[in-house]
Amino acid sequence: MPLSAVVLAAGKGTRMKSSLPKVLHPIANKPMVQHILDALSEVGAEQINLVYGHGADQLQSALAHNQINWCLQAEQLGTGHAVMQAVPNISDNDDVLILVGDVPLIQVSTLNRLIEVKQQCDLALLTVELDDPTGLGRIIRDGDNITAIIEHKDATDEQREIKEINTGIMLMSGIDLKRWLGQLGNDNAQQEYYLTDVIGMASEEGKRIQAAHPDTPIEVEGVNNRLQLARLECEYQHRKADELMLSGVTVKDPYRIDVRGTLETGTDVEIDVNCIFEGTVKLGNNVTIGANCILKDCVVGDNKRIEPFSMLEDAEVADACTIGPYARLRPGSKMLDGAKVGNFVEMKKTTLGKGAKANHLTYLGDANIGENTNIGAGTITCNYDGVNKFKTEIGSNVFVGSNTAIVAPAKLGDGSTIGAGSVVTKEVDTDELAIARAKQRNIKGWTRPTKLS
């Protein structure tokens, strides 16, 4: 049967105390609900109905790249009422997977397990046993069969002793769901249309209701406040660290790494503490990342050391380069094989050729730098006149002395040398020496000033 999904996300999320709809709060830089949408596309959901109530504009723009049926629940009259909003999109012969938008760590393997259980019964429920089930719907059983869910507020003291709870995730056929939703009332402690009442209806019709379970309870934990958000973020990051280590990466401290996107790694990669990886990052073989580095959307080749406190964004680094400590590669930075960038060097839209070096205190912007060129300490490419940006072309085997300002547009030919302290405003030809600084004057017989009394 084709799989349809209904994601419930109309609750206000008051306890987040935020102007952002709760389900857009991120785990690993990605909206919570996007984690669920991604899991749904992995399990092959053919259509996704998102029931929303607040923050329509914010939701629609944050989730614009998804194929979603937007189902407005203008008034939040309960989870059953929420699912009713998606009914016009659901066919009788769909299997309908119902989830909540604020349970972001749900695993594809768990959803697949639920789908398997449904193949043996009429309604599959994801349940879990908790030491403290306070506030949640309790699972009522008759042996192997589930017969009802009783909400905490409606439960007797005896029922409140039950540890098995409803996660809110369930699967049933479209035809059953629609029939049961049609019979829902709101005669209960909260005067809400409870989705959970369909379980009792199914049982009365003699349907078979079976449970599946997640690997760990935290997978189905919801987010209602920022404490829970932080807890799930930590859990997510622990998982990522575990995955990395099992794939052969040395992670110096699995509690101090953050992967907010995709990190691909070669063999023998070593990552020191407090590194953050964002977007899509690819690391080659034998790459060592020092402590406190931030890498975003970049590709790093083999045999490389990135020293502590370096930041790379939208950068491409070939093999055997060294970077940092305290280096900053901004978008469009490219280092070819064996290039070196040292401390307090910033690059932007610049290519550093094979074996070229900029070891200290330098800004290289909109520049092309050839092979084996040495950029001295304190070199600045002056690429901006306050209005426009200009390019700098530096050939191969060039030696740029310290404290040089190269005013773009500029061209330094192959093998040229620039004397330290120069302000270069004219083109320098191949193998020429350019010196552009005030001449030194020595004054003989100079007497130092004495202290005035």
Q: Is 238 a catalytic residue?
A: no
Measured CA to CA, the distance from residue 377 to residue 16 in angstroms comes to 49
Is residue 9 within the footprint of ligand UD1 (CB under 6 A)? yes
State the minimum distance, in angstroms, from the CB of residue 141 to ligand UD1. 15
Is residue 166 within the footprint of ligand UD1 (CB under 6 A)? yes
Is residue 219 within the footprint of ligand UD1 (CB under 6 A)? no
Site for ligand UD1 (CB under 6 A): which residue of 11, 365, 370, 401? 11
Site for ligand UD1 (CB under 6 A): which residue of 27, 36, 68, 165? 165
In single-letter form, the type of residue at position 222 comes to: G
Measured CA to CA, the distance from residue 371 to residue 184 in angstroms comes to 75
Q: Closer to ligand UD1 by CB, 106 or 410: give it.
A: 106
Q: Closer to ligand UD1 by CB, 93 or 216: give it.
A: 216
Is residue 90 within the footprint of ligand UD1 (CB under 6 A)? no
Is residue 151 within the footprint of ligand UD1 (CB under 6 A)? yes
Q: Are 305 and 286 in contact (CB under 8 A)?
A: no
Is residue 342 within the footprint of ligand UD1 (CB under 6 A)? no
Name residues whose C-beta falls within 8 Å of residue 254's C-beta, 6 or more positions apart in sequence.
Answer: 238, 241, 242, 245
Q: Are 193 and 199 in contact (CB under 8 A)?
A: no
Is residue 16 within the footprint of ligand UD1 (CB under 6 A)? no
State the minimum distance, in angstroms, from the CB of residue 187 to ligand UD1. 13
Is residue 196 within the footprint of ligand UD1 (CB under 6 A)? yes
* DSSP designation for 384: B
The alpha carbon dihedral of 415, 421, 426, 432 has a sign of negative
Q: Which three-class secondary structure string do you get for 6-60? A: EEEECCCCHHHCCCCCHHHCEECCEEHHHHHHHHHHHCCCCEEEEEECCCHHHHH
Residue nearest to ligand UD1 (CB): 137
State the minimum distance, in angstroms, from the CB of residue 188 to ligand UD1. 8
Measured CA to CA, the distance from residue 400 to residue 403 in angstroms comes to 9
Stretch that binds ligand UD1, among 189-197, 209-217, 350-358, 413-421 (CB under 6 A): 189-197
Touching ligand UD1, residues 37-56 (CB under 6 A) = 51
Q: Closer to ligand UD1 by CB, 73 or 237: give it.
A: 73
Stretch that binds ligand UD1, among 72-80, 88-96, 250-258, 346-354 (CB under 6 A): 72-80
Residue 387 has, within 13 A of its CA and on its CB side, a CA count of 0
Is residue 194 within the footprint of ligand UD1 (CB under 6 A)? yes
Q: Is 222 helix (H, G, I), strand (E, B) or coil?
A: coil
Touching ligand UD1, residues 293-312 (CB under 6 A) = none
Q: Are 106 and 36 in contact (CB under 8 A)?
A: yes
Is residue 401 within the footprint of ligand UD1 (CB under 6 A)? no
| Overall size of the chain counted in residues | 453
State the minimum distance, in angstroms, from the CB of residue 190 to ligand UD1. 8
In 284-339, beta strands by DSSP E:
287-289, 294-296, 299-300, 304-306, 311-313, 315-317, 322-323, 327-329, 333-335
Stretch that binds ligand UD1, among 31-39, 56-64, 97-105, 177-185 (CB under 6 A): 97-105
Tokens 């402690």 appear where? 189
Q: Which residues bind ligand UD1 (CB under 6 A)?
A: 8-11, 51, 73, 76-79, 81-82, 100-102, 136-137, 149, 151, 165-168, 194-196, 222
Catalytic residues: 360
